[in-house]
Amino acid sequence: MKIHKEGRRILFFTLLALLAVNLLLFRYNADNDGFNKVFGGISVIMFLILLQFFRSPARRLFTHEDLIIAPADGKVVVIENVQEPEYFDDMRKQISIFMSPINVHITRNPISGIVRYFKYHPGNYLVAWHPKSSTKNERTTVVVESEAGPLVLFRQIAGAMARRIVWYVNEGDEVNQGEEFGFIKFGSRVDIFVPLDTEVKVQIGEKVKGGQTVIAQLKTPPPSLF
């Protein structure tokens, strides 16, 4: 198990702070040994919880040009046809994955292709399952022209706990399915918007793994014989 690069700085300074406080307590509060031990135990638990936020497990990635792979670990909370106003301005099929604080927070490209649009939106920090979080919260929007042809939009959305979104893509980049395109610190939500004729392969409430679970299949024309 590796620690993701986005967490190394936070973990280092948190460890230093906890060690400093505990050393000060054991030196200047030696008469209250019981309290010191309890605080020491709480410090270990706090650090372990923070550590698991930034874990980066090894993954055997699943790739296929017309399949949409889960961009994050979590639970499917939305499957519906909606109006997508930012880029397409028409009806699209939306699939949303909620990432809890105990999920891996890496976000991965659901499809291979070329980034045709990217935009970062500062915003609020509503709880990630709030219907307006998709348009009101801090978020990024990425549109990829897939190798199979159709355009796929996916969006990182910050939640009540997630206060920073990190991304590694820009317009014009070539991206590969399953590779990291960003990180949402302390969990949140990822929305995917695909054409209406896309066949969804998951159900509401299903748990998925980023880079491994097939969540949908794009409808593509059969190859021509001539």
Q: Which of 43, 134, 146, 188 is flagged as catalytic? A: 188
CA distance 20 to 190: 37
Nearest to 86 by CA among 135, 137, 151: 135
Residue 51 has, within 13 A of its CA and on its CB side, a CA count of 10
d(CA 125, CA 154): 19
Q: Is residue 114 within 8 Å of 172, Cβ to Cβ?
A: yes
Amino acid in position 16: L
Q: Strands 188-194 and 90-98, how do they pair?
A: antiparallel
Residue 144's alpha-carbon distances to 7, 73, 75, in angstroms, are 27, 20, 23
Going by the DSSP 8-state scheme, the letter that residue 71 receives in this structure is S
Instruction: Establish whether 146 is a catalytic residue.
Output: no
Annotated catalytic residues are 188
